[in-house]
Structure 1
């Protein structure tokens, strides 16, 4: 194959033509990577990789080295003996992860290929690279590839890897002819139109506005408090954001990063964040005050606001990410499966990896809703 690679420890080392390869994903471009580097979670280290052939760069990718032993909690999905067993297994047999991709996002933000590259060969080379240069990591993971890219992994070097899929990514597609939020509401069936009206009525008295960098910095402590409530009560955590994460994103990404804040009587009670890239909106992190979330149906109203933002501004699709699939489907999002490939460095564990994965990441049961009127 005659490939070679370069590992970069810092974004300042990235070659000048990096973004010309990374243009397919905003999350692989220099601006985002620089913001990420300035606000990296304490238990995460980044390596940026370039793949070359005959001095020509064919692909760029993001590697994350994650140390789960530095976390005080993995989440609150389980209780009692089950959570003790899960924590024991993670700390002793899966505490150090090497991920090709971004574990803070949903989607294929692992690697971008030049048009003239051969993705199967590049991925084979990267697999060899991580096996040889990152031996200290318990598990190697290549994450969030769409179904049509599974073919790249159908080669001998991946035979021992577990192909897995967990919760789907929930994606919303704006319909042709929608120009305002009421067009979306009109397309809902009566049951879900009533849900929309009920949620909007509950939110009366809540002020929503977009914050600039100065305002984000001024409210940073409260923002982080709201973020932590959601993060620490999530089903599973592999990191916690740095306190300055949102201000770093706004400073570096500008109008590509949107921060929406929700206030009641002048007090910040919630927020959500979005990235915009061409005709796509990518949802990012959010937070809310648990004391008002249920009363104001705040999370559901945030979802409706994101839909409205996409329609009014001409975005064709919203990637809502994983988690809360049922409520996201109730506003019109559809599940899209993403696939990953995982291999444990201990052969005796790797042979039983499928069984262990089902224990650590049990299948989530949920009901898909269909909120739109039938044509």
Structure 2
């Protein structure tokens, strides 16, 4: 029986039987509750969900969003000649463009597609590519399509996208700390560090000692939502690239759905919220989500270093076996013992002729290098 795709515009319209067919919901990021939190809080984004069916049973799933991005947001932080930058900007009319993302635009990692076990992975993934193509044709004014983010172990499957005229490019890696089972406390972790990195961790805790930390309930998130959003915007403004700004109403819904598995921790200087971290415990992994920082107080009170230390603490306390610290600030994260996990995404212009230009551009994109520290003894 051939594979066919079915596209849904809301989580609520997806038959429960499809989720049961896939048996994917043990991973929180593929659960309808997780996806719905983003859908209902971010109304400026068009969400679509592609299911691949065989004999009327779901065998694969893809999560997509259609967002509007300024083309200069994409090109300004990529190393290229001014001539190439002008060509790319002109190709998109120096304007905002509608982009179809396959993969969760708010997560860094391989959380956008799910292939059921014991199915032909290549054929099933090709069916997803056909589903994305079908979706892109049905939506007006889409200029580009990006399918993200794949680990090296998946490339033997995902490289078949090149037959659909996509170009592959590496993006900033996720920074992963692997936790050892003998680390039962933050002191155990620090004892495994070389002296200068242990001093660095202690200094961050000492400088931030004046801060009062508090785990947020659903009500706390609602109460401080405007301050959280402002602090989050601060970090977005400092980022090299951000496809879309998250409405932190999402966090209210995530906390309601996932209780203690979804963590938001606020940092107060006297009565002023000056920072926060967020994280999701997904099976045996702790994944850092967005943070927010008051940069006017960051240097004096080591808010960001304190947040990084607390991610390690949370990983140990939740008995996780790894912490995903996400992208950006890779060198700083490596001082805590994080190692890079390479990620690849694929892009193409919707129209064939401009796509030949875009493919050459994508192939010449190089991610920024960084110094990888080795902090453990």
TM-score (norm 2): 0.90
Answer with 200-209 or 157-166: which moved more. 157-166
Q: Distance in 2 between matches of 1:152 and 1:362?
A: 23
Query: Cα gap change, 1:90/1:314 in structure 2, threshold over 3 Å: closer, same or farther?
Result: farther
> Alpha-carbon deviations, 1:315-355, whole Å to 9, x = none?
00111111100000011100010112222223233223344
Q: Please name the residue that 2:47 is paired with.
A: 46
Query: Cα gap change, 1:93/1:127 in structure 2, threshold over 3 Å: closer, same or farther?
Result: farther
Contact persistence 2:149–2:343 (CA under 8 A): yes
Contact persistence 1:292–1:298 (CA under 8 A): yes
Query: Cα gap change, 1:28/1:218 in structure 2, threshold over 3 Å: closer, same or farther?
Result: same
> Alpha-carbon deviations, 1:24-83, whole Å to 9, x = none?
5311211101111111162x21101111111111112201112225x996698489x96x
Tell me how far 1:358 sits from its aligned partner.
Answer: 6.4
Contact persistence 1:106–1:321 (CA under 8 A): yes
Q: Following superposition of structure 1 onto structure 2, how do residues 255-270 of structure 1 map, counting pairs within 5 Å?
A: 255-270=260-275
Q: Please name the residue that 1:11 is paired with.
A: 11
The alignment partner of 1:294 has SS state of helix
Query: Cα gap change, 1:352/1:63 in structure 2, threshold over 3 Å: closer, same or farther?
Result: same
Query: Cα gap change, 1:76/1:200 in structure 2, threshold over 3 Å: closer, same or farther?
Result: farther
Query: Cα gap change, 1:133/1:30 in structure 2, threshold over 3 Å: closer, same or farther?
Result: closer
Query: Cα gap change, 1:74/1:241 in structure 2, threshold over 3 Å: closer, same or farther?
Result: farther
Q: Please name the residue that 2:101 is paired with.
A: 99
Question: How much is the aligned-residue C-alpha RMSD, in angstroms?
Answer: 2.6
Q: Please name the residue that 1:194 is paired with.
A: 199
Answer with 93-102 or 299-308: which moved more. 93-102
Query: Cα gap change, 1:91/1:255 in structure 2, threshold over 3 Å: closer, same or farther?
Result: farther
Q: Following superposition of structure 1 onto structure 2, how do residues 200-215 of structure 1 map, counting pairs within 5 Å?
A: 200-215=205-220
Q: Following superposition of structure 1 onto structure 2, how do residues 135-154 of structure 1 map, counting pairs within 5 Å?
A: 135=137, 136=140, 137-154=142-159
Q: Verify: 1:121 aligned to 2:123, yes or no.
A: yes
Q: Distance in 2 between matches of 1:336 and 1:78?
A: 20
Contact persistence 1:93–1:138 (CA under 8 A): no
- Number of aligned residues: 369
The alignment partner of 1:106 has SS state of coil
Query: Cα gap change, 1:358/1:58 in structure 2, threshold over 3 Å: closer, same or farther?
Result: closer
Where in structure 2 are there 5+ consecutive unaligned residues?
A: none
Q: Please name the residue that 2:62 is paired with.
A: 61
Q: Please name the residue that 1:340 is paired with.
A: 345
Tell me how far 1:365 sits from its aligned partner.
Answer: 2.4
TM-score (norm 1): 0.91
Q: Please name the residue that 1:249 is paired with.
A: 254
Structure 1 stretches of at least 4 aligned residues deviating more than 6 Å after TM superposition? 71-76
Tell me how far 1:18 sits from its aligned partner.
Answer: 4.1
Q: Distance in 1 between matches of 2:161 and 2:288?
A: 36
Contact persistence 1:75–1:235 (CA under 8 A): no
Contact persistence 2:274–2:294 (CA under 8 A): yes
Contact persistence 2:161–2:346 (CA under 8 A): no
The alignment partner of 1:51 has SS state of strand
The alignment partner of 1:241 has SS state of coil
Q: Please name the residue that 1:372 is paired with.
A: 376
> Alpha-carbon deviations, 1:75-110, whole Å to 9, x = none?
98489x96x957666565882211210111111111
Where in structure 1 are there 5+ consecutive unaligned residues?
A: none
